[in-house]
Amino acid sequence: MTQTLDLEEFPQICFEGEILPQSVIGISILINHDFTERTGDWIWRLPHCKKIWKTGDSEWCLAAAREINDHLLEHRAEIITDIQERLGPHGFDGHTTINEWLTALARIQILAASAGNVCRWTADSPR
């Protein structure tokens, strides 16, 4: 199931040239979960890129995506509830969103592993 969210409010992130699911823009709600400081920094940085380019060390992107992926799998039910409570009013479905995040994090790991030294990403609303 694909979600349809307001593209102005929730633009899609383009990570290393690949468009990620629209719901990834909401991933920063995980900032209060139990992550290393570096991964917490990456969670905050990833979606806060509307109309600007962000960069990050490829190893940092890969490690953070891996840690978040593992956390989502380990705490799936809790995170689905968190998504429903915090993002549901904006049109996000908990089950769909967590699945899209897992898919996006898997792609980020692959893209970061082949990116060289630095990954780049941005989000822009359609004109």
Q: How do residues 50-75 score in pLDDT, each as one tens digit?
A: 889 999 999 999 999 999 999 999 99
**Mean pLDDT (whole number) for 76-91:** 93
Inside any domain, residue 1:
no
Inside any domain, residue 106:
yes
Inside any domain, residue 7:
no
Inside any domain, residue 6:
no
Inside any domain, residue 90:
yes
pTM: 0.89
Whether 5 contacts 91, CB under 8 Å:
yes
Inside any domain, residue 26:
yes
Alpha carbon distances (Å) from 57 to 80, 101, 105, 119: 29, 20, 16, 6
Tell me which residue range forms the domain holding 95.
13-123
Residues contacting residue 81 through CB under 8 Å, at least 6 positions apart = 94
Tens digits of per-residue pLDDT, 3-27?
555 556 668 899 999 999 989 989 9
Residue 127 has pLDDT above 50, yes or no: no
Listed range (32-36, 78-82, 83-87) with the worst mean pLDDT: 32-36
Residue 80 has pLDDT above 90, yes or no: yes
Inside any domain, residue 70:
yes
Domains held by the chain: number = 1
